Amino acid sequence: MKLDRKIALVTGAGAGIGKAIAAALGREGARILIADRANAEGAAAELAAAGIEARGLEVDITSEEDVARSMAFAQTQFGGLDIVVNNAAIFSTLMPKPMEEISAAEWRQVMDVNTLGTFLVTKAALPLLKKSSAARVVNLCSGVAFKGNPLYLHYVASKGAILSMTRAMAKELGAHKILVNAIAPGFTLSENVENNPALMAKVRGPSIAGRSLARDMYPEDLVGAAVFFAGPDSAFITGQTLVIDGGSYFH
């Protein structure tokens, strides 16, 4: 129970990667707050049925009011906050398209959720994290930040920003003993991704072909790294991004 009684906020954990991470943290003893626009309470109920202390709250991470409400909820329900996992992002609903077909509105929407949301959540969490003796921030980056995948320029740019934000946050928050690291997954078969046939058709085959371990990747492939960065074994690691993609990209 490496995270015994620690309090973890996981954004976008109503399904997919976020839900898998929330469950893994919970199995290590963490108390979980799921913040998502959809199925937050349902996912929390599933965790609770498995013996994990969990609460769910409907949150739009691009809304400062919603984010502030989530921090107040963490304080009143759990008494504070130790771990923030910035998982919420737009990807599974995106359609592959050349950059000249990406509208300004779509660009802004991806940037608002993927980068502004991460900023707002982390910023709002700082008063609580500064009170923790083992504060951790885990950001979800992506392997595309290193590989520069085509036809998703807005998404690639947003994850490149998360890579840089992780490094800058680590430098700035080190004085408060808050560790900030990131996980960069390869193409992962979450249920939402599988519901986008165009995305699956364009990305799945090349992703598998480019891996040293030539198989599909699932949310469960990421959870060990999330637990590691959230727990005591990473106590002298900060500002790092770990690529988890079956050996497609080495850095």
Report the candidate in 47, 77, 43 with the shortest Cα–Cα distance to residue 58. 43
Report the candidate in 137, 110, 120, 3 with the shortest Cα–Cα distance to residue 62. 120
Residue boundaries of the structural domains of the chain: 7-243
Domain 7-243, second-level architecture: 3-Layer(aba) Sandwich (3.40)
Indicate which residues carry an active-site annotation: 155
Parallel, antiparallel or unpaired: strands 136-140 and 83-86: parallel
Parallel, antiparallel or unpaired: strands 83-86 and 54-58: unpaired
Parallel, antiparallel or unpaired: strands 7-11 and 179-185: unpaired
Give the pLDDT of residue 102.
Answer: 98
What residues pair up with 85 in beta bridges, in sequence order? 10, 138
| Predicted model pTM | 0.97
What's the rounded Cα separation, in Å, for the pair 11 and 119? 12
Q: What is the DSSP string of 197-243?
A: HHHHHHHHHHHHHT-SS-S-B-GGGTHHHHHHHHSGGGTT--S-EEE
What residues pair up with 181 in beta bridges, in sequence order? 138
Q: What is the pLDDT along the chain (251 residues), one digit of tens a residue?
A: 999 999 999 999 999 999 999 999 999 999 999 999 999 999 999 999 999 999 999 999 999 999 999 999 999 999 999 999 999 999 999 999 999 999 999 999 999 999 999 999 999 999 999 999 999 999 999 999 999 999 999 999 999 999 999 999 999 999 999 999 999 999 999 988 998 888 898 899 999 999 999 999 999 999 999 999 999 999 999 999 999 999 999 98
Numbers of helices and strands, H then E, in the chain:
10, 7
Report the candidate in 133, 112, 109 with the shortest Cα–Cα distance to residue 121. 112
Give the pLDDT of residue 93.
Answer: 92
